[in-house]
């Protein structure tokens, strides 16, 4: 993957124009056998085509036909710890990047150095999610697709993010608690059960399931590839992949 700079595009345009002009000059010389006429016609053609191309591009910049605005959106993965949020979000983010979308991935470890640290009370958790939502909204307003994955256990905070974002897609990772515990590589559930962690969502901390999510995925019943396809199919249906 690479991004073509303006300098490279300009150089390619001029190199193609020069090659085309040399071809014209050569053809004129072949038919007339007069080098001065061939060079003169080549020079006139070069200048004329550059001018015509300049105004041609300016004209099409004013024509809206066939032009589609970029429609950014926010994909918000929510669910219990180890429900597959990060795994599915990473895969979706990678796929969208490969489709040349400008994508920003938001998750806990990435924004710890950006947003102030908060506690684990309902008030603190809601405050944190709302801050992340405001960040997602700023990115969306700048034509950037956002893929976020947070436990975000409370409906109120998620509704706040939905309200401020123009295109909010909530994906509820409805993976059963027992399966989440099996998938927990960090052993956080075990620590919570032993009392080493408090207010841990799924053990002694509440989780309010989304009321009307756009998609529901159970990581114990669907593979990663199938889940990503399901999400992309939804985006395509909503005409967000154009």
Q: Which of 152, 198, 220, 223 is catalytic?
A: 152
SS3 content of the chain, % helix, strand, coil (to 5): 55, 10, 35
205 forms beta bridges with 201
Q: Name, in order, each residue with C-beta under 8 angstroms of 188's C-beta and a sequence gap of 6 or more.
A: 81, 82, 197, 200
Place of tokens 């944190």: 128
Query: Cα(202)–Cα(176) distance, rounded to whole angstroms?
Result: 10
Q: Is 9 a catalytic residue?
A: no
Max distance between CA atoms of the chain, in angstroms, equals 95
List residues with catalytic annotation. Answer: 152
């Amino acid at each position: 993957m690479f991004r073509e700079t303006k300098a490279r595009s300009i150089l390619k345009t001029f190199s193609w124009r020069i090659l085309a002009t040399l071809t014209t000059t050569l053809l004129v010389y072949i038919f007339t056998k007069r080098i001065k006429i061939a060079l003169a016609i080549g020079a006139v053609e070069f200048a004329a085509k550059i001018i015509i191309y300049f105004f041609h591009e300016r004209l099409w910049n004013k024509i809206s036909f066939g032009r589609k605005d970029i429609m950014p959106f926010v994909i918000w993965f929510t669910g219990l710890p180890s429900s597959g949020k990060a795994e599915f979000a990473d895969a979706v983010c990678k796929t969208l990047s490969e489709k040349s979308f400008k994508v920003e991935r938001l998750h806990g470890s990435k924004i710890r150095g950006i947003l102030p640290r908060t506690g684990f009370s309902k008030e603190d958790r809601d405050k944190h999610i709302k801050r992340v939502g405001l960040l997602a909204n700023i990115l969306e307003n700048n034509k950037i697709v956002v893929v976020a994955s947070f436990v975000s256990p409370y409906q109120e905070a998620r509704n706040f993010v939905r309200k401020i974002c123009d295109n909010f897609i909530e994906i509820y990772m409805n993976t059963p608690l027992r399966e989440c515990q099996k998938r927990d590589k960090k052993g956080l559930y075990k620590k919570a059960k032993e009392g080493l962690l408090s207010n841990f969502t799924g053990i002694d901390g509440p989780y309010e399931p989304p009321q009307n999510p756009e998609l529901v995925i159970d990581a114990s019943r669907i593979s990663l590839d199938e889940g990503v396809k399901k999400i992309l199919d939804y985006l395509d249906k909503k005409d967000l992949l154009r």
